[in-house]
Amino acid sequence: MHGGAPDLERESTSKTQIHACAGRANQFFYPAYFNQMKKIIALLLAVTGVLAAFSTSARAQTNVITVTNIVTITVTNFVTVTNEPVKADALTKTDTATDSSLIVQPPKYPWKSSIGAGLTLTRGNSSTLLVTANAQTDRKTPENEFSFGANGAYGEANSVQNVNVIRGFGQYNHLFTQRFYGYARAEGLRDEIADLQYRFTLGPGVGYFFLRETNTTLAGELGTAYVVQKLGDEYDSYETLRLAQNFEHKFKRFGARVWESVEILPQVDKFNNYLVNAELGVESSLTTTISLKTYLVDNFNNEPAAGREKNDVKLISGISYKF
């Protein structure tokens, strides 16, 4: 038993030494630790404050920019006088209404078109049939004019074909001034009764408006053309001059108009070979879109196919629809 007492004494002495060391460690460690933590917390609070201030400033600046971009005058009035919040949709409506009233719509130059058809039929002592159809479209702007058209006719008398013609044309005018213009024109014609298998005419030229008023126009044209045709069994091509005149007058009060056109195409190196195409017509409106049209067409060929007449005249009447 006496042998265990020294061990207990040594153990007690060791514990006393450990507690003494721990006390001295706490005396130096804990104050340093708390001081370090205080510095870290202070730094975090400072950074948080800076970020919060920057965020608030950015949001305020963004709001000002956004509202100001919507409409500056309205936002300024609200902020200065009432200091009330403004709804973005209300400002957008105000801005849209103001802008739409200031927008100037550009002028429109639409295509004006018409189609027509006619029918003549007899039975009894005579048996005749005549069917006609036509279509035309035009567009005019201050600098350019476009015109395209086609027409055809088919007729029989006592079951013998006496009319079979189809024609198409296109013309483009470019106005250099209010009256002076240049043009390019193309035309095609087929007339089986005149034994004309086809004739194509293409050429440029210049024109001048002698009258160019709201309801009346009178123009003259001078140019050249190249003709390709098959007349009978003969194929031919040649150059021509082209002299043309066009007139139109509208009776706005009565919803009617009259027109007239003539063109002469003499062969350049053979003046006794020439073509003359003429048209005279009147149109009267029945409604705003439907009208009655009657016109006379004369095609003259000074050198026709063998066994054919020089002159072909057609009087055509029909209903026309405008759109």
- Sign of the Cα torsion 44, 50, 55, 56 reads positive
* 232: CB partners within 8 A, 6+ apart: 195, 305, 306
The answer to whether 112 and 138 are in contact (CB under 8 A) is yes
In this structure, whether the domain defined by 112-322 belongs to CATH 3.30.70.2860 is answered with no
* pLDDT at residue 239, as a whole number: 96
Residues in the chain: 323
Domain extent listing, the chain: 5-102, 112-322
190-220 per-residue burial string, b: 16 or more CB within 10 A, e: under 16: bbeebbbbebebebebebebeeeeeeebbbe
DSSP one-letter code for 80: I
- What pLDDT shows up at residue 123? 87
Q: Which residues contact 187 (CB under 8 A, 6 or more apart)?
A: 167, 168, 169, 170, 200, 201, 202
Task: Provide the pLDDT for residue 252.
Answer: 86
Residue 78, pLDDT score? 43
Return the residue matching tokens 């057609």.
314
- Closest by CA to 164, choosing from 134, 196, 191, is 191
pLDDT tens for the chain, 323 residues: list them.
Answer: 444 445 544 545 555 554 544 455 445 444 555 566 666 666 666 656 655 555 455 444 444 444 444 444 444 444 444 445 545 555 455 455 455 556 777 788 899 999 999 998 898 888 889 999 999 999 999 999 999 999 999 999 988 998 999 999 999 999 999 999 999 999 999 999 999 999 999 999 999 999 999 999 999 999 999 999 999 889 999 999 999 999 999 998 888 999 999 999 999 999 999 999 999 999 999 999 999 999 999 999 999 998 899 999 988 899 999 99
Residues 6+ apart with CB under 8 A from 245: 218, 219, 220, 221, 261, 262, 263
Q: Are 230 and 201 in contact (CB under 8 A)?
A: no
Structure tokens at 99: 């802008």
Cβ partners under 8 Å of residue 176, min gap 6? 182
Alpha carbon distance 195, 199 (integer Å): 11
pTM of this prediction?
0.65
Alpha carbon distances (Å) from 120 to 214, 270, 294: 35, 40, 13
